[in-house]
A and B are shown apart, each in its own frame.
Chain A
Amino acid sequence: MNHIEHNNGKGKRLNREDNEEDDDEEEDERDLEAWERAYADERSWESLQEDESGLLRPIDNKTLHHAQYRRRLRALFSTANAARIQKGLIRYLFLVIDLSRAAGEMDFRPSRMVVVAKQVEAFIREFFDQNPLSQIGLVTIKDGIAQCLTDLGGSPESHIKALLGKLDCSGDSSIQNALDLVHDYLNQIPSYGHREVLILCSALTTCDPGDIMETIQKCKKSKIRCSVIGLSAEVFICRHLCQETGGSYSVALDESHLKELVLEHAPPPPAIAEFAIANLIKMGFPQRAAEGVISICSCHKEAKFGGGYTCPRCKARICELPTECRICGLTLVSSPHLARSYHHLFPIAPFDDVPPSHMSGTHHRLPNNCFGCHQSLLNPGKYNVPEANRVGFGGAEEIGLKMVEEIIGLMERNGGGNMPGPCVACPNCKQRFCLDCDIYIHESLHNCPGCESFRQPKSVAAVQE
């Protein structure tokens, strides 16, 4: 504790401005200790784990991540269930991507805009997967000007291609210009469609030509839900915009967090109260055109060979679904699209955690395998300890008792050996699932395999009676 004494000595000395001295060397020494101390406080090495052969194992955050995921799921479910919230399934979303100077910063690797483009790509695919009836448009902000990259449309590929082609950044950012532009487009959307803007904002400033507050009020009046995801820090005007228009505001900590935040916008948001009146929408279900027919496509305005769909009302040729017919303006979808939108309204209930004590008893009537993937729940695949090894530990008398205790303790901590791994159970059919299956069921499958396979015989039986 040399340095502390040294400091006290300095403190006692008369310290008028003029007769101060500094010993840079000693301060440097202290500096080293200061940053070392920060790491010492965290004690990060204690979370390191060794495997059986003494090699370091990557830190296992799986359980932690899963717990976070489940918390979010439960929160979503409770809000959705509590009031049977109506959801906006037909969404018109403008993605605003900030390509101002700040997007070139390197705090995300290789740069903010590349990372953003990557996430936007993933988002667009996920979005159409979850909202087949919706449409997206892309807007970029560069040099203080907002530019419409793609019009509203339902084809993920064309958006992604347009964005990746235009990836360079310069100048200032202007949220007002972007909002004005988007407002003009969205104002023409029919009232059953949900108007949304998602701004991916790298910049911390916005250089606007006029009063942005007025623009925000204009968006509020047109029921445009504006959400912002910031890349570096909380900006007041963004928070204000989201609060006023009912959107959400979040700031990304790192790349994976950014991905999470972006994907949070993929499931449909609750409908805005004034639009929540039920009304009928006229839709067409086009037939797939015969192969080998040449016809003029209404979307590209050129002759196309084969594929495509035919509008049931005006018989025009369309390349992709879903879309709006260019000729008669009819909304064109396919029936799987409608069906896929359905699960948002009736999600599967989150699964319950199973306490480990329930698992350990082998006399329990339920099998110790995951109902989804049939992997053992006791020794999750990768932690399986080879039989031979275990025998070896059993006969290790000459190693000494202490050592054995240590090894067993280590194994227990690792969830290895015969200890049960974490698992969950469906509240309806009581079947058990491993964590991977849990995520798969809730995010992609939208059906519980247990409930589905048990319902079948029951309903059959009911019919027979």
Chain B
Amino acid sequence: MKFQIEDVTVYFPYDHIYPEQHAYMVELKRALDAKGHCLLEMPTGTGKTIALLSLITSYALSKPSSLVKLLYCTRTVHEMEKTLAELKLLHRYQRLHLGDAARTLALGLSSRKNLCINPAVVSAENRDSVDAGCRKLTASWVRALAVENPNIPTCRFYEDYEKAASDAVLPPGVYTLQDLRAFGKEKEWCPYFLARHMVQFANVVVYSYQYLLDPKVAGIISKEMQRESVVVFDEAHNIDNVCIEALSVSVRRQTLEGATRNLNKMTQEIQRFKNTDAGRLRAEYNRLVDGLAQRGNLPIGDTWLSNPVLPDDILKQAVPGHIRKAESFVSLLRRLVQYLKGRLETENVEKEGPVAFVGSINAQVGIDQKTLRFCYDRLHSLMLTLEITDTDEFLHIQTICDFATLVGTYTRGFSIIIEPFDERMPHIPDPVLQLSCHDASLAIKPVFERFQSVVITSGTLSPIDLYPRLLNFNPVVSRSFTMSLTRDCICPMVLTRGSDQLPVSTKFDLRSDPGVERNYGRLLLEMVSVVPDGIVCFFVSYSYMDGIVNSWNETGILKEIMQHKLVFIETQDVVETTLALDNYRKACDCGRGAVFFSVARGKVAEGIDFDRHYGRLVIMFGVPFQYTLSRILLARLEYLLETFQIKEGDFLTFDALRQAAQCVGRVIRSKADYGMMIFADKRYSRHDKRSKLPGWILSHLRDAHLNLSTDMAVHIAREFLRKMAQPYDKTGGSGKKTLLSQEDLEKVGNGSLGEMLF
């Protein structure tokens, strides 16, 4: 369908549109008009992605001069593919209406692991080794050698891509990662380098958060994007954590040992070069005198990492004299590693600010702040000079330099915490030195400054006023939309008491109470006998899950559960979890029924959907607070209070509730779907906790469902499931319109236009 929003003609590939999608588009359009940032919350299953894509591309089509590019950031490769598939549909529709005027180039960009088509390289098990494998074949010096000696292997796809030179372009269209690989295979061009090249010319780029937020990657991939681009962060409820992780480094004993090995190897290499090719080192020295700005001159294949957010003037400064020489730089790094080793020996927990830390480095090993700042680039340059291709082995020393540069650059918003052992296992020494970033706004600041419109959207952004404070920006539009439903297809409940009427909670003092564990067990047992197909349970932590599953096993509850449904458990091992999920789905498909035990904040809670019969019920056992005694969290809370005046209680509750909302939100993925959510903890019945849940859950949380015991919950579940199994009218009948056709929209459009005029 085709309709007007103010002065923009929107092309929407479906015949009907939900009212909230329309409202979403109107708000988004206003934000684009105002050239500002916006925050939009809309429940999952209402077609957020297609609304975003169709509005922004239509906007670009109707105002060709105003918008240059859409940068769409997703969290996972799977979401990336889904987005591109939607875009394909949209593009086909636009082509149908506009013909060649709608020609666009849209593509996904991912790591080599997902794009490489060289069978020898892509078979490596992890991302870093694929990257290293690629570099071994494509680095400029390797290729130079290969010209002389045909026995040295190169990648034929890359060679062909290089040969095609400026002819190597993608014709307009929408390319998923799969399409890119297919195209690459057909033309025998390397899809990874082709995609990276084409990103500059594309109208729509879909890639992961890291390409914009992680300063190391952002520098090379996203630096050429125009200011007029629109940046979209989808599923952005955890964006502050992504930002923080991008700037946090932790150093363990293994890291330091690895770094020492790396340094030894580098010394050997330097020695070898000195004997054979002293000119190279000399040339590097000269280059460094000119400053770091030379990086642009290096061929694209070799610039694999760039410096963290450095102020521009540093890039133009010359590298400090005493680290220009390779040997002196390596010996400086040795001193730094030695110093860190010494710090790790400590028996007590230590906490320091960056300034004090740099001061102590300067005093003890004589490295000043400015030198530290250059470590990352200097290392990078040295590795190029030494022609090191197996970068995956040199990760340790890279971590150290990353650390040094961050410490040297920032004086606020960070702290350095050294813990000699894990809080929870005090008898096992496991010293770790963490540089933790407290300020999410640091990493995202350049994005807000560089681009004129940044859209942050997710199904759960409640409370919506906290995000601007955390990320330190001013949105022109911030709104939360609710879902228009033809029937009450979600049924949230707060369970406060077990079957014996005693309160249940994962509160610290009640946590290990056998009564609470038994009550939780009884709840699940009752539920497996009334809920069909899949049930998902979320626990507050791995250790809590282990404990409670053990106790259920001992008391025989687990066995009784197994009579009704099979039980699958998420573990920290990704492969195991994937296998468990796979079998869980199979059990749901064939009617055997299954329960999946999972952990809030785990991989499953974040990225896996339990829609339709894969999740008819989700139980959140307890409130998923962060581990409140963690030093990093305490430091962050302190910082938040000082800098943004966010109270620690507020932040903890906000963080716990958004995790809980995220977990239970997994169960509803579309309007035709239905599901129940049980919040099994008495603390959820309190207003301050409950009110932080997203509006679309709250609006279905009836007063009578706020303080239930197990038997009442079972009764409600029975009724609900029976009601939901009845056939229903998808369009919502006569009374409540939940699907709008083109005519409806025109009517609405006239009405709203009239309203605005008055």
Instruction: Enumerate chain A interface residues (CB-CB to B < 8 A).
Output: 4, 7-8, 10-11, 14-18, 20, 22, 24, 27, 30-31, 34-35, 37-38, 102, 107, 175, 204-208, 211-213, 230, 232-238, 250-253
Contacts and interface: CB of A to CB of B under 8 A. Distances in A.
Interface string B579-613: 00000000011111100000000000000000011
B741 to A, nearest CB: 24
B394 interface: no
Contacts of A252: 722
B725 A10 contact: no
B163 interface: no
Interface stretch (B14-22, B133-141, B530-538): B530-538
Given A31-B707, A38-B703, A10 B687 contact: yes
Interface in B700-734: 702-704, 706-707, 718, 721-727
Contact of B685 (A15, A27, A232, A234): A27
B718 A204 contact: no
Nearest to B628: A17
Interface residues of B, number: 48
Given A18-B508, A233-B721, A10 B688 contact: yes
Contacts of A204: 529-533, 564, 593
B412 interface: no
A175 to B, nearest CB: 7
Interface of B: 496, 503, 507-508, 529-533, 564-565, 588-593, 612-613, 616, 625, 628, 647-649, 652-653, 682-683, 685-689, 691, 702-704, 706-707, 718, 721-727
A167 B499 CA distance: 31
A38 B704 CA distance: 6
Contact of A8 (B508, B612, B687): B687
Given A232-B718, A234-B532, A234-B724, A16 B591 contact: no
A211 B707 CA distance: 42
Contacts of A37: 703-704
A16 B649 contact: yes
A251 B704 contact: no
Nearest to A207: B592
Contacts of B721: 232-234, 251
A4 B721 CA distance: 32
A236 B591 contact: yes
A16 B652 CA distance: 8
Contact of B726 (A7, A18, A253): A253
A10 B592 CA distance: 45
Contacts of B590: 206, 208, 211-213, 237
A34 B507 contact: no
Most chain B beta carbons < 10 A, residue from A17, A212, A237: A17
A205 B687 CA distance: 38
Contacts of A20: 507, 683
B700 to A, nearest CB: 14
A237 B591 contact: yes
Contacts of B723: 253
A7 B687 contact: yes
- Which 6 residue pairs across A and B have the least CB separation, nearest first? A237-B591, A11-B688, A251-B725, A236-B613, A233-B721, A38-B704
Contacts of A8: 687
B506 to A, nearest CB: 9
B530 A233 contact: yes
A27 B507 CA distance: 17
B701 to A, nearest CB: 11
Contact of A107 (B686, B687, B718): B718
Most chain B beta carbons < 10 A, residue from A35, A208, A213: A35
A34 B496 CA distance: 14
Given A11-B686, A16-B628, A27-B685, 4 more contacts: A27-B707, A37-B704, A208-B590, A233-B722
A8 B685 CA distance: 13
A194 B539 CA distance: 51
Contacts of B503: 22, 24
A18 B628 CA distance: 10
A236 B588 contact: yes
A14 B647 contact: yes
B725 A35 contact: no
B702 A38 contact: yes
A178 to B, nearest CB: 12
Most chain B beta carbons < 10 A, residue from A37, A207, A230, A232: A232
A238 B686 contact: no
Contact of B722 (A17, A35, A232): A232
